[in-house]
């Protein structure tokens, strides 16, 4: 039996390592080192800086933040309390709301390249999955169609709460890992059989 458990543990670790060693940011759509608007030729610098990062925007944020007020998602079946984007979602929206030039980083404010296409969510977030709301056992119970994040396995090693939420809130990074595109669309896990959706949604 112990051997069997060791074998399973081994397989599990192997799996995690595989995912961890996936594509990485290099050569992904988030690798802007070759873009004309990025004169530095660096990868990380568009978002991060080791020093003099923007106040209050961890992790070491280097890209001009958006000051927009967003139209939020509403639905008559929505039980969550919605608020303006916060936490790491603000960081994503500093490029993905389409109002701040992608080349406005490292103190630059006169950039003129903007995100285009489907990646531009705009400031109307009513047609996007809601973010920046507290997702806890109470919400799951109120909704009736959500798993309890504190007790439900995320499929990433721990609970949903531990692996996918940030201060108990669902954020862009709950579903997306901006540094790793192994699963496509920078998803944190494969959405084969809608596995990512069904991690939280008890449908």
Nearest approach, Cβ of residue 140 and other proteins (Å): 13
Nearest approach, Cβ of residue 69 and other proteins (Å): 18
Rule CB under 8 A: choose which of 23, 60, 73, 83 binds other proteins.
73
Does residue 198 interact with other proteins by CB under 8 A?
A: yes
CA distances to 39, 71, 187 from 170, rounded to whole Å, are 34, 17, 14
Are the C-beta atoms of residues 186 and 178 closer than 8 Å to each other?
yes
Rule CB under 8 A: choose which of 53, 57, 78, 115 binds other proteins.
78
CA distance 128 to 98: 15
Closer residue to other proteins in complex, CB, 36/116: 116
Does residue 126 interact with other proteins by CB under 8 A?
A: yes
Does residue 79 interact with other proteins by CB under 8 A?
A: no
Does residue 194 interact with other proteins by CB under 8 A?
A: yes
CA distance 112 to 13: 45
Does residue 81 interact with other proteins by CB under 8 A?
A: no
Q: Where are the alpha helices (DSSP H) in 43-159?
A: 88-96, 137-143
Are the C-beta atoms of residues 190 and 156 closer than 8 Å to each other?
no
Interactions with other proteins, residue window 129-188 (CB under 8 A): 129, 145, 175
The β-bridge relationship of strands 169-170 and 133-134 is: antiparallel
Rule CB under 8 A: choose which of 59, 69, 127, 167 binds other proteins.
127
* Structure-derived torsion over alpha carbons of residues 123, 128, 129, 134, reported in degrees to the nearest 10: 20
Closer residue to other proteins in complex, CB, 26/126: 126
**Sign of the CA dihedral with 149 first, then 198, 9, and 21 last:** negative
Does residue 74 interact with other proteins by CB under 8 A?
A: yes
Does residue 128 interact with other proteins by CB under 8 A?
A: yes
- Would you tell me which residues interact with other proteins (CB under 8 A)? 1, 73-78, 118, 121, 126-129, 145, 175, 191-194, 197-198, 201-203
């Amino acid at each position: 039996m112990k051997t069997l458990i060791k074998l399973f543990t081994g397989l599990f670790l192997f799996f995690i390592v595989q995912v961890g060693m996936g594509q990485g940011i290099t050569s992904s759509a988030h690798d802007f080192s070759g873009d004309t608007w990025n004169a530095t030729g660096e990868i990380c610098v568009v978002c991060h800086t080791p020093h003099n990062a923007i106040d209050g925007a961890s992790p070491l944020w280097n890209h001009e933040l958006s000051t927009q007020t967003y139209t939020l998602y509403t639905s008559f079946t929505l039980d969550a309390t919605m608020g303006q984007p916060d936490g790491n979602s603000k960081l994503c929206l500093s490029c993905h709301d389409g109002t701040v030039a992608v080349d406005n980083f490292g103190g630059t404010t006169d950039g003129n390249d903007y995100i285009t296409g489907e990646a531009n969510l705009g400031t109307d977030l009513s047609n996007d999955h809601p973010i920046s709301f507290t997702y806890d056992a109470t919400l799951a119970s109120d909704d009736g169609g959500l798993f309890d994040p504190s007790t439900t396995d995320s499929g990433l090693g721990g609970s949903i709460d531990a692996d996918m939420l940030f201060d108990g809130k669902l954020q862009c990074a709950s579903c997306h890992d901006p540094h790793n595109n192994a699963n496509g669309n920078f998803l944190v896990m494969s959405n084969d059989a809608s596995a990512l959706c069904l991690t939280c949604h008890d449908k």
